[in-house]
């Protein structure tokens, strides 16, 4: 089986989408025999990321002339050049792990549904990006042979919006695999006091401003407790959050770290007191799973996929109710028995997820598509 993977949208910067692509493909290649050959189509910007990670003989990595940070350049390459390369290498299947696929060509395609953020009005996408994004999502829904979805919520939302049969969607939840070389337990904490941890890119829908307001009620009662906000800046949001923390009088207890290395992230998870995630929109919510894997009590939003991910292992709250968040967090900080109970629940819940299982379900989807196409060909003969 000759499988192509469209990696043009994946940037080299740390992100949930990058982690998804790297972890999933690592396990897919490991689970595949030598008869499966993979063709990774990358951008000039991210090709080194994949060449360092994948050195197997059955993986061919190519850089197409585009930059993944340039949306227009990427879209043109994905829609015009990629189909030509797929034809050149006579691939049997294309895997598109970032929501969309090329319009041209007739290669059977499996698309991974990560999110449908482009359809949410409250997210401020440029008009052209929203127009193209909505069109290509709808077109993809009609053209793809099958889909994988990172949560049941994502699968149900996609099926309902685009009229897709649930039988065409394979739910493949994300996973967590501890890296053997990354240990945080034996390192010193970055702070003398306790800290609450938030991890994600600073998009407005991550609801970090709400988190600052909720934390301001905690900070007045717990001067030794800090809030660590970890994740890449988005359109200058870091500066606005720092200014807001100053206005709320909590600047000395709020630390906006920006993007950090994997080693630093493990260290931050390992020493945190608890994890908070008031996001309004998620396709899955990988940071919540990572926090649970580090045995942290988690408090998350009751929106979209997050209740599904944490189950009864975490505390689920309305992401507009500052009092509920501040009171719940204070209770966890003060009640060691309660905090310990949720830490144990977190560890058990995280054990139900693995990237290997994500890869197994994805490969099952690949084989199902090719088997169906083979059966259809035989019926025509």
User: In terms of domains, do 256 and 376 share one?
Assistant: no
Q: Count of domains in the chain?
A: 2
User: In terms of domains, do 262 and 134 share one?
Assistant: no
Range 145-155 average pLDDT: 97
User: In terms of domains, do 23 and 169 share one?
Assistant: yes
**Residue 96: beta bridge partners?**
111
Mean pLDDT check: name the lowest of 8-12, 283-287, 334-338.
8-12
pLDDT in tens, 228-277: 999 999 999 999 999 999 999 999 999 999 999 889 999 999 999 999 99
Record the pTM: 0.90
Q: pLDDT: is 254 or 377 the higher one?
A: 254
Question: Can you tell me which residue has the tokens 């629940």?
Answer: 345
pLDDT in tens, 171-190: 999 999 775 555 555 566 67
> Binning pLDDT at 50, 70 and 90, where does residue 204 land?
very high
User: In terms of domains, do 201 and 134 share one?
Assistant: no
Range 310-337 average pLDDT: 98
User: In terms of domains, do 323 and 363 share one?
Assistant: no
User: In terms of domains, do 143 and 205 share one?
Assistant: no
- Which secondary structure element, helix H or strand E, spans residue 315, and what is its range? strand 315-317
- CA distance from start to end of the chain: 22
User: In terms of domains, do 129 and 278 share one?
Assistant: no
CATH classification of the domain holding 283: 3.40.50.2000
User: In terms of domains, do 346 and 359 share one?
Assistant: no
User: In terms of domains, do 67 and 207 share one?
Assistant: no
Contact 161, 138 (CB under 8 A): no
pLDDT in the model for residue 70 = 73
pLDDT in the model for residue 122 = 65
User: In terms of domains, do 346 and 369 share one?
Assistant: no
User: In terms of domains, do 51 and 91 share one?
Assistant: yes
Average pLDDT of the chain, as a whole number: 92
Range 306-332 average pLDDT: 98
Range of the domain at 325: 195-350
pLDDT in tens, 41-96: 999 889 999 999 999 999 999 999 876 667 788 888 999 999 999 999 999 999 99
**Residue 93: beta bridge partners?**
3
């Amino acid at each position: 089986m000759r499988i192509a993977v469209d990696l043009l949208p994946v940037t080299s910067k740390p992100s949930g989408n990058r982690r998804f692509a790297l972890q999933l493909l690592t396990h897919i290649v490991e689970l595949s025999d030598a008869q499966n050959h993979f063709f990774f189509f990358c951008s000039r910007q991210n090709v080194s990321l994949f060449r360092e990670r994948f050195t197997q003989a059955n993986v061919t990595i190519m850089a197409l002339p585009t930059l993944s940070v340039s949306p227009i350049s990427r879209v043109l390459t994905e829609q015009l050049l990629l189909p030509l390369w797929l034809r050149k290498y006579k691939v049997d299947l294309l895997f598109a792990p970032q929501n969309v696929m090329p319009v041209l060509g007739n290669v059977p395609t499996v698309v991974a549904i990560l999110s449908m953020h482009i359809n949410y009005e409250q997210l401020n996408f440029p008009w052209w990006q929203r127009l193209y994004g909505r069109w290509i999502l709808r077109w993809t829904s009609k053209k793809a042979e099958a889909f994988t979805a990172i949560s049941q919520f994502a699968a149900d939302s996609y099926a309902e919006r685009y009229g897709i049969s649930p039988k065409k969607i394979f739910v493949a939840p994300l996973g967590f695999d501890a890296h053997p070389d990354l240990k945080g337990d034996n390192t010193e904490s970055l702070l003398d006091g306790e800290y609450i941890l938030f991890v994600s890119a600073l998009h407005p829908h991550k609801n970090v401003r709400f988190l600052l307001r909720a934390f301001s009620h905690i900070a007045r009662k717990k001067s030794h407790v800090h809030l660590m906000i970890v994740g890449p800046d988005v359109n200058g949001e870091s500066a606005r959050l720092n200014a807001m923390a100053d206005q709320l009088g909590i600047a000395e207890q709020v630390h906006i770290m920006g993007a950090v290395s994997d080693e630093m992230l493990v260290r931050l998870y390992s020493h945190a007191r608890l994890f908070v995630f008031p996001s309004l929109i998620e396709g899955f919510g990988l940071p919540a799973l990572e926090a649970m894997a580090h045995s942290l009590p988690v408090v998350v939003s009751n929106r979209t996929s997050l209740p599904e991910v944490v189950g009864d292992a975490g505390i689920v709250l309305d992401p507009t109710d500052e009092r509920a968040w501040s009171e719940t967090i204070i209770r966890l900080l003060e009640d060691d028995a309660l905090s310990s109970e949720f830490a144990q629940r977190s560890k058990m819940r995280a054990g139900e997820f693995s990237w290997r299982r994500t890869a197994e379900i994805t490969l099952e989807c690949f084989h199902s598509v090719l088997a169906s196409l083979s059966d259809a060909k035989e019926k025509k003969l």
